Chain A
């Protein structure tokens, strides 16, 4: 492969070996664009698996005292649904989008460590396959995605499922940590000339902050998984109360990871929204500094709120007060972002593309999820709703209504850049409305179910008044949601084959990834575009109205 001349003396990244084409080219690639695409297809496959698991769960729950699934089967399926969605779908799809986009957005040739980048993908795939192998090796893990001790210990979970869970997650965690190192190094050292940190596209900024959260948040999980494996395989006693260990210690370590993890799952999505909304409002983002600064605040605060997952453990007033206050506080910087996105749209000339629809739905649904979350930052309220479907509704609103809708906005936005073709707007809008309807039908009613007292993490429920009807509504919504995913697949397939050619910059956007071809050449850029502000392509297209002429400082 020919190498482009080194851009401005920055280090040259190695390319794939000469002569590998086709499948072997994909397997040996260290090109960030190909690795990003590998992540996207793989997470799509895991999304479909976890979606089927969800439909199985909803079928079991559609009427009281149903026997579609045995309790043992249900426990394995809900554990795998949660574990897959969190570790094998949401986190990797965001890392995959970032892997594809970040070097392009900063005008670089590739990531700082291209081979480490490939390693991150392959160990993620390996970890995922290891986890799913458990189905064939005696049974999947069945202790929930959070595997509380002592249920997760050998006396209560004697099949190998939990060992596969721990090993699979260790592998995936190593890959994620490596990505964190890679993004931090790339964004800090490989920016194009003129691209100061204060001029970073917000998606890249969020990925940078996220990288630091990853570096510090994954390690408590690695420690806890190590200790669990030592307990299970070497007959030790970290978490077994019967032999002197502490089951609560597992919860402390797990949630010290688990809470920052949910921010890892949302920070890049906020970045996507911060790219999409300004472009389709034809206005620069309102309050760039506040969006960037509030993100850093959230990153720090995210480590100080984990105790709110343990309010019902009985750890005492000081513990509860402290974490309750911090949990309420963290809502503030999040709210700041919502206001900034809305202010960006105010006075703009809105373009209602499919991507924009998903972004708008994100704002509404994520806000709803955030509001329901802050209601149980209040400790007594948490005591009432913990372990009910109210919590399930909350986190699906932020993770699905939020992050997944954000990812869809990002896919509709960047698919033209990655493939050279537009996704069909007609099919896209149909898909959007079906997804929106399906999602809200499934999860809105779960708030009610939770307040009425329906327990989560159980395979069936008694025939209390309204429970059956409400669960049926939720199940119908779930199948509608499943159908909308099929429409999404149809759109992708059809558009890859026959979509309209996209051109370099179909959305008239402003950041550097749109300054090269669609799809980009292997070396990304022929030469550095001049960067004097936050919207280099706007400045090039409108020399008299360039940001750096109009604004005081960018």
Chain B
């Protein structure tokens, strides 16, 4: 999983480079400074980072044999992940309403591609979280092993770190 995370990191970096390269190329149409606000993405980011903490609590519960605690913390992680995705969806909706779309100009193209790919990774992560919850609930021995939660944690933490990098490149770099 570590190897996979390193590999996927390169993929994200390539997309971020494209964003950084193009972000100020658009001569017409909306730009990041004009259209991106910080508060809403800030809240969804906080949700995602918090979900890293809740996942850690879930892992600790499981290794102590506390199944119900595990389930509660996992459910919280799933909810926070879904909150992130919903917030991202609302932000997208707002932008599209204001005619900022993937095909409008280069800012739109790179913004939606980068955040879209990241959201896809979060969505896949949420699905895997649910699968693990289901299997542990059924008493599956392999799912309850420490290795399983370790691999999940690496993937989830990787997704959070990618968001921190993406957030910095997209939302914070305009102040640089």
Report A's interface with B, CB cutoff 8 A: 177, 180-181, 184-185, 215-216, 218-220, 222-224, 226-227, 230-231, 234-238, 243-246, 249, 253, 256
For A244, give its contact among B10, B18, B106 (CB under 8 Å): B106
Closest beta carbon of chain A to B7's beta carbon, Å: 4
Interface pair A230/B109, CB less than 8 Å apart: yes
Chain A residue nearest to B110 in the complex (CB): A238
Closest beta carbon of chain A to B87's beta carbon, Å: 22
Closest beta carbon of chain A to B46's beta carbon, Å: 28
A224 to B18 Cα, complex, angstroms: 10
Closest beta carbon of chain A to B4's beta carbon, Å: 5
Given A219-B11, A226-B117, decide whether A236 and B102 contact each other with a Cβ distance below 8 A.
yes
Closest beta carbon of chain A to B145's beta carbon, Å: 11
Interface pair A218/B7, CB less than 8 Å apart: yes
Interface pair B14/A219, CB less than 8 Å apart: yes
For B15, give its contact among A185, A223, A234, A246 (CB under 8 Å): A223
Closest beta carbon of chain A to B21's beta carbon, Å: 7
Residues of B within 8 A of A237 (CB): 103, 105-106, 109
Residues of B within 8 A of A230 (CB): 102, 109, 113
Chain B residue nearest to A230 in the complex (CB): B113
Query: Is B27 at the interface (CB under 8 A from chain A)?
Result: yes
> For window 1-22 of chain B, which residues contact chain A by CB distance below 8 Å?
3-4, 6-8, 10-11, 14-15, 18, 21-22
Q: Mark B42-58, 1 if CB is under 8 A from A, else 0.
A: 00000000000000000
Interface pair B102/A234, CB less than 8 Å apart: yes
Residues of B within 8 A of A234 (CB): 102-103
Interface pair B103/A215, CB less than 8 Å apart: no
Question: Can you show 10 pairs from A to B with CB atoms below 8 A apart?
Answer: A177-B7, A180-B7, A219-B7, A220-B14, A224-B14, A227-B113, A231-B109, A238-B18, A238-B109, A244-B27
Interface pair A244/B113, CB less than 8 Å apart: no
Residues of A within 8 A of B103 (CB): 234-237
Interface pair B11/A223, CB less than 8 Å apart: yes
Closest beta carbon of chain A to B136's beta carbon, Å: 20
Interface pair A219/B10, CB less than 8 Å apart: yes
Closest beta carbon of chain A to B128's beta carbon, Å: 15
Residues of B within 8 A of A180 (CB): 3, 7
Count, chain B residues at interface, CB 8 A:
24
Closest beta carbon of chain B to A5's beta carbon, Å: 20
A215 to B105 Cα, complex, angstroms: 32
> For window 99-118 of chain B, which residues contact chain A by CB distance below 8 Å?
102-103, 105-106, 108-110, 113, 117
Interface pair B21/A226, CB less than 8 Å apart: no
Closest beta carbon of chain A to B88's beta carbon, Å: 17
Interface pair A216/B7, CB less than 8 Å apart: yes
Residues of A within 8 A of B26 (CB): 244
Residues of B within 8 A of A216 (CB): 6-7, 10
For B18, give its contact among A177, A181, A215, A223 (CB under 8 Å): A223
Interface pair B113/A215, CB less than 8 Å apart: no
A-B pairs, 6 with minimum CB distance: A223-B14, A219-B10, A235-B103, A236-B109, A219-B11, A215-B7
Chain A residue nearest to B10 in the complex (CB): A219
Residues of B within 8 A of A249 (CB): 18, 21
Interface pair A244/B105, CB less than 8 Å apart: yes
Residues of A within 8 A of B134 (CB): none
Closest beta carbon of chain B to A434's beta carbon, Å: 41
Closest beta carbon of chain A to B2's beta carbon, Å: 9
Report B's interface with A, CB cutoff 8 A: 3-4, 6-8, 10-11, 14-15, 18, 21-22, 25-27, 102-103, 105-106, 108-110, 113, 117
Interface pair A185/B3, CB less than 8 Å apart: yes
Closest beta carbon of chain B to A150's beta carbon, Å: 15
Closest beta carbon of chain B to A303's beta carbon, Å: 10
| 12 further contact pairs, Cβ within 8 A, besides A215-B7, A235-B103, A238-B110 | A181-B3, A216-B10, A220-B10, A224-B14, A226-B15, A227-B15, A230-B102, A231-B109, A236-B102, A236-B103, A237-B106, A245-B106
Closest beta carbon of chain B to A230's beta carbon, Å: 5
For B113, give its contact among A220, A222, A236, A246 (CB under 8 Å): A236
A230 to B117 Cα, complex, angstroms: 11
Residues of A within 8 A of B21 (CB): 246, 249
Chain B residue nearest to A256 in the complex (CB): B14
For A219, give its contact among B8, B18, B22, B108 (CB under 8 Å): B8
Interface centre among A216, A219, A245 (most CB of B within 10 A): A219
A83 to B53 Cα, complex, angstroms: 45
Residues of A within 8 A of B113 (CB): 226-227, 230, 236, 238
Residues of A within 8 A of B117 (CB): 226
Residues of A within 8 A of B10 (CB): 215-216, 219-220
A231 to B117 Cα, complex, angstroms: 15
Interface pair B14/A184, CB less than 8 Å apart: no
A238 to B22 Cα, complex, angstroms: 8
A235 to B102 Cα, complex, angstroms: 8
Residues of A within 8 A of B25 (CB): 244
Chain A residue nearest to B27 in the complex (CB): A244
A14 to B129 Cα, complex, angstroms: 24
A196 to B147 Cα, complex, angstroms: 25
Residues of B within 8 A of A235 (CB): 102-103
Chain B residue nearest to A218 in the complex (CB): B7
Closest beta carbon of chain A to B93's beta carbon, Å: 17
A234 to B96 Cα, complex, angstroms: 14
Chain A residue nearest to B116 in the complex (CB): A230
Residues of B within 8 A of A220 (CB): 10, 14
Closest beta carbon of chain A to B100's beta carbon, Å: 13
Chain A residue nearest to B9 in the complex (CB): A219
Residues of A within 8 A of B14 (CB): 219-220, 223-224, 253, 256
Interface centre among B22, B26, B113 (most CB of A within 10 A): B113
Chain B residue nearest to A257 in the complex (CB): B14
A332 to B106 Cα, complex, angstroms: 42
Residues of A within 8 A of B11 (CB): 219, 222-223
Closest beta carbon of chain A to B103's beta carbon, Å: 4
Closest beta carbon of chain B to A137's beta carbon, Å: 24
Interface pair A184/B3, CB less than 8 Å apart: yes
A507 to B65 Cα, complex, angstroms: 55
Chain A residue nearest to B103 in the complex (CB): A235
A259 to B15 Cα, complex, angstroms: 19
A238 to B27 Cα, complex, angstroms: 15
Closest beta carbon of chain A to B43's beta carbon, Å: 28
Residues of A within 8 A of B15 (CB): 223, 226-227
Residues of A within 8 A of B102 (CB): 230, 234-236
Closest beta carbon of chain A to B111's beta carbon, Å: 11
